Structure 1
Amino acid sequence: MSEIKIDLNNLNKSNWKTYRFDEIAKNISERVDPNNTDLKIYIGLEHIDSESLHIKRQGTPDDVNGQKLKFYKNDIIFGRRRAYQRKAGIATWDGFCSAHALVLRANPEVIDPELFPFFMHSDLFMNRAIDISVGSLSPTINWGTLKHQEFMIPPKDQYEKLAHLLWTAEGSIENLRQTHVELCQYKECLNKKHFEAYRKSPNRVGMYTSKVGSGVTPKGGSKVYQESGVQFIRSQNVLLGSFDMSDVAYISEEIHEKMSSSKVLNNDVLLNITGASIGRSAIYKSGESANVNQHVCILRTIEEELDPLFLSEFINSAFGQKQIPIITSWR
């Protein structure tokens, strides 16, 4: 096929048309009783990954009770509850799904079914879905509201090109994801082989660190958090080998100085020591001033004796994770 060129930054939308959502897609509302069906595949919202077109997990009828929704191959299963999680996956078989989803089927007279999954994952659609959700604890979309929402759709000569371009890009992304998975598996094998040698080692981390200790919650708790200032790292910010600072808290320089014993320095290994995320660790390399709360432990190595990267990799390895009860007793 000849190369398709589309300037996504300067799309000509002069001939795009506006349609209601119920003109773009059909809501499939066939009901299924899990205790009385020949269908073998159940898809719950927990089986759909955020921001992914592909459904890679599944359940069985034995997993659930109560009325569910039937879907057919190539339908879109869209999580109408907590739409901010951006869950919309393509069914690759017939089955049934959670009633907290909508089963949607593209209208080929309006939009190419190949383009429809990308439309569903667009910021335009997802942001609208979030805006029309109702409820505070579990915001949910009602079909009666969604069907009246209007969106601009390109003509056939454009949406076919867009679909081809986007699926080509999606194929490249999936290949990269698979390569990443395989590299992680290879890395884990290497780590297991290497770290196995330390199973009976008499060495303890305290022999190679200048500091092992956690922080505290500042007086006043979250009420003293600020919009900016010194980063206050909590357990949700520490992942396996990296940090998620999207919701990092901030404290004042004054509080930071009062909590001087838990100041974070570059190359400190931060380790979660309580809760569901216990055992996750990462090396701090930001260079910005930071502090930690009582759920995060600082491991400051004597770098001539122990490389902090080695320590963090050890802790995050499968072998290291089995040692977490011992590691958290080193304090």
Structure 2
Amino acid sequence: MIINNIHIDECLGDRLDAQQFHPERLSMIRRLKTITCCKLKEVAKNVKIVTTCLSNEDVYIGLENVTCGTGEYIPGIKESISTAAVFKKGDILFSKLRPYLNKVYLAEFSGKSSTEFYILEATNILPEYLAIILRSDIIIAQTKHLVTGNTLPRLQTSDIENLLIPYPSSTFQQKIVDLYTAAQNAKLQKDKEAKELLESIDDIVTQHLGIKLPERSDFSETKYFTPISKLIGQRYDPYFHNPYFEKAFAKLAQSKYPLKKLGDISILITSGITPKAGGDAYTDSQNGIAFIRSGDIDINGNINFEELLYIKPEVHNKQMKSSKVYDNDIMIAIVGATIGQVGIYHSEKEANINQAIALVRLKDGYDPEYVKELIKSSIGQLNLDRLKRPVARANINLEEIASILIPIPEKIEVQTAIAKEIHEIRVKADAIKNEGSLIIDKAKATIEKMILG
């Protein structure tokens, strides 16, 4: 048992629970009280506009569309929603859910967002400065000890409103903004270098296979003819039979390695289910099994277990026993905004998946890293693009996943060599991106020292 002594003055007007008086939180508050500070509600107002309408023109931001720590916006395809918060350019989106993940976005445009964001309009403070502070350890030290709820830990509105914010002069605020902006620009340059490196992977794949796919069609042809014989046993829709796909798959057949269906090289292709949101199937990370959703999968097998939901062991072992995930299983997003994303599971931890993921477990003699990279490449994406249904919520079924055609060398040593070459590029790209992240971390540390001394 850990016992901490606090002064009675620190209890007055506060919630009486142990986490509220965690030494890390109290230490930060004591430091902040030595400088000019204010409460968040004194320099920003909560924008409480909610809508049930989401048009094709609206930009929607979910928690998954904001990067941790840096607050960058990652575009995604809109999902159907029941309610959304409305924000405008210059507002700050601050995540109430799992605030320790540090998802804070300074809006570069107007749009709509998940209601898990607390929308702030800066009133007596520079919005750029406020966003920087909300992403800093100054705030994290306060918020991570205020969350309530085990399965979906959130901040209460009153706790957000009463967060202590360093409040220097506007000149000093601008100095902080300029310093952070310079670091951010340096990081963006590193990200650009990493992106260019990753984009070279596709050329490496096609060179090894001895093929070059035709340029992507704009699908401008509105009328074309297909023999009835080609419709037998196939999808009966114009999109699937677009001439571009016919040309591309003809080129694919010219690979120096034989084409094999994913179903023919797999011992299992399956998907999971999603227990009712907020139901009793869920629990916390200490007592549960990791529940992977399509937005969680990663090409390198890196999964942030802090961001995951967790299901109870009895749900994992009974209702969802057929979709258990094991090391080297390949995961493909088959529904919605993330359709076509590919990942691999590299962990000994028990895990399960939802119905938006196709889990692929290969037979012996096939390298999972090679197959994963082929599905991720333009070859795999060609298959997935053809298979997905061009409807409001795109989807691909498991039988169609099994039909994916990829060129595979007969010798596993050749598969492994190609996969290793690609892996080395990904490692190098990650190292460059990490250099960019380090630049931001150093800037944050400098800013905190400038503010707190």
TM-score (norm 2): 0.44
CA offset at residue 310 of structure 1?
0.9
Q: Which SS does the other structure have where 1:77 is aligned?
A: coil
Could you tell me which residue of structure 2 aligns to residue 214 of structure 1? 270
Among 16, 24, 35, which residue is 1:16 paired with? Answer: 35
Could you tell me which residue of structure 1 aligns to residue 327 of structure 2? 266
CA distance in 2, matches of 1:53, 1:219: 30
1:78 partnered with 2:91: yes
Could you tell me which residue of structure 1 aligns to residue 259 of structure 2? 202
Opposite residue 214 of structure 1, the aligned amino acid is T
CA offset at residue 184 of structure 1?
2.2
1:191 partnered with 2:244: no
1:250 partnered with 2:316: no
Opposite residue 203 of structure 1, the aligned amino acid is K
Change (3 A) 1:44 1:163: same
Could you tell me which residue of structure 2 aligns to residue 138 of structure 1? none
Opposite residue 16 of structure 1, the aligned amino acid is I
Gaps of 5+ in 2: 1-27, 46-56, 76-86, 98-102, 114-118, 147-156, 212-250, 388-398, 405-453
CA offset at residue 78 of structure 1?
1.5
1:50 partnered with 2:100: no
CA offset at residue 177 of structure 1?
1.7
Contact 2:291 2:308 in 1 (8 A): no
CA distance in 1, matches of 2:181, 2:137: 18
1:233 partnered with 2:292: yes
Contact 1:106 1:116 in 2 (8 A): no
Opposite residue 286 of structure 1, the aligned amino acid is S
Change (3 A) 1:79 1:285: same
Deviates more, 1:177-186 or 1:116-125: 116-125
1:328 partnered with 2:401: yes
Compare the two structures and name the one with the higher strand fraction. 1
Could you tell me which residue of structure 2 aligns to residue 312 of structure 1? 372
Contact 2:262 2:401 in 1 (8 A): no
Could you tell me which residue of structure 1 aligns to residue 349 of structure 2? 288
Among 172, 190, 205, which residue is 1:176 paired with? Answer: 190
Q: CA RMSD in A?
A: 5.3
CA offset at residue 317 of structure 1?
1.8
Change (3 A) 1:253 1:24: closer
CA distance in 2, matches of 1:171, 1:223: 45
CA distance in 2, matches of 1:288, 1:190: 33
CA distance in 2, matches of 1:231, 1:14: 40
Change (3 A) 1:155 1:187: same
Deviation string for 1:172-206 (max 9, x for gaps)? 32222222222222223333444564811432234
CA offset at residue 262 of structure 1?
3.5
CA offset at residue 271 of structure 1?
2.4
CA distance in 1, matches of 2:402, 2:33: 66
Gaps of 5+ in 1: 1-8, 27-41, 58-68, 71-75, 91-95, 132-140
Contact 2:32 2:164 in 1 (8 A): no
Q: Which SS does the other structure have where 2:280 is aligned?
A: helix
Could you tell me which residue of structure 1 aligns to residue 231 of structure 2? none
Deviation string for 1:139-193 (max 9, x for gaps)? xx9xxx98x9973324689767755653443233222222222222222333344
CA offset at residue 125 of structure 1?
7.3
Could you tell me which residue of structure 2 aligns to residue 87 of structure 1? 105
Contact 2:292 2:352 in 1 (8 A): yes
Change (3 A) 1:263 1:183: same
Contact 1:237 1:248 in 2 (8 A): no
Change (3 A) 1:251 1:15: closer
Contact 2:269 2:360 in 1 (8 A): yes
CA distance in 1, matches of 2:313, 2:171: 57
CA distance in 1, matches of 2:316, 2:134: 45
Deviation string for 1:282-306 (max 9, x for gaps)? 1111111233344433322234x22
Deviation string for 1:57-102 (max 9, x for gaps)? 9xxxxxxxxxxx99xxxxx712469887632156xxxxx8569987
Q: Which SS does the other structure have where 2:198 is aligned?
A: helix
CA distance in 2, matches of 1:255, 1:237: 18
Percent of pairs with identical residues: 20
Change (3 A) 1:56 1:99: closer
Greater relative CO (CA pairs within 8 A, separation 6+): 2
Deviates more, 1:192-201 or 1:280-289: 192-201
Change (3 A) 1:16 1:160: farther
CA offset at residue 54 of structure 1?
7.5
